[in-house]
Amino acid sequence: MKHRLGGNKLSRKTSHRKAMTRNMVTSLFRYERITTTKAKALEIRRTAEKMITRAKIDSVHNRRIINRDIKDAEILNKLFTELGPVNKDRPGGYTRVLKTGLRKGDAAEMVILELVFDAKEEPKKKAAKPKKKAEKTEKAPEVKKEKAVKAEVSEEAVPTENAKDAAPAEEKEKEKTADSEEVKATEESAE
């Protein structure tokens, strides 16, 4: 009888199928998203979900069982320290399969297999990025000041030969001083 022995063999020998599954699961945990065929994704999904369920409880026994398939120590650690605790309250459904269409060469159905995260976790990552942008906007006026000062010094050091050259140089200096005054005004309003 063939009860409870389901699963797609993917037209591969056992050793090849196990190696492919191990590699794809490791890639899924490393990149958190992989593109593959639908049949492979559904098989990888079974293995990945079982591993994440084990990773919820960080014990030596669970680490050794998962270490049979995931040989990369960095990924194994990521699974138990990041992915397991994030999905602690989720009762399953840790992955998502998104259809992308047919492959050009053989018309195989392609999908994206990705890990699902709670909405609570994603905003924390996005909140860090606006702070960097705010820092850049504060630094930008200082750089403009330095450039304006350097430009004034370089123009004073180079003597002009013709009167025609002197007139445009004076206009440039007036523009730069006006720009520096605007920068000062914006700094004062920011403070």
* Greatest C-alpha distance within the chain: 103
Statement to judge: residues 114 and 130 lie in one domain: no
Same domain, 135 and 104: no
Same structural domain, 133 and 105: no
- Cα–Cα distance measured from residue 37 to residue 7, given in angstroms and rounded to the nearest whole number: 15
- Residue 150 sits in which domain range? 124-190
Per-residue tens of pLDDT for the chain, all 191 residues: 989 988 999 999 999 999 999 999 999 999 999 999 999 999 999 999 999 999 999 999 999 999 999 999 999 999 999 999 999 999 999 999 999 999 999 999 999 999 998 766 553 444 445 555 555 555 555 555 555 555 555 555 555 455 555 556 666 666 666 666 766 666 666 65
CATH code, domain carrying 81: 3.90.1030.10
Regarding whether 93 and 75 lie in a shared domain, the answer is yes
Q: Which of 118, 143, 162 is the last residue of a domain?
A: 118
Selection from 32, 86, 31 nearest residue 58 by Cα? 86
- pTM of this structure: 0.62
Give the count of domains, the chain: 2
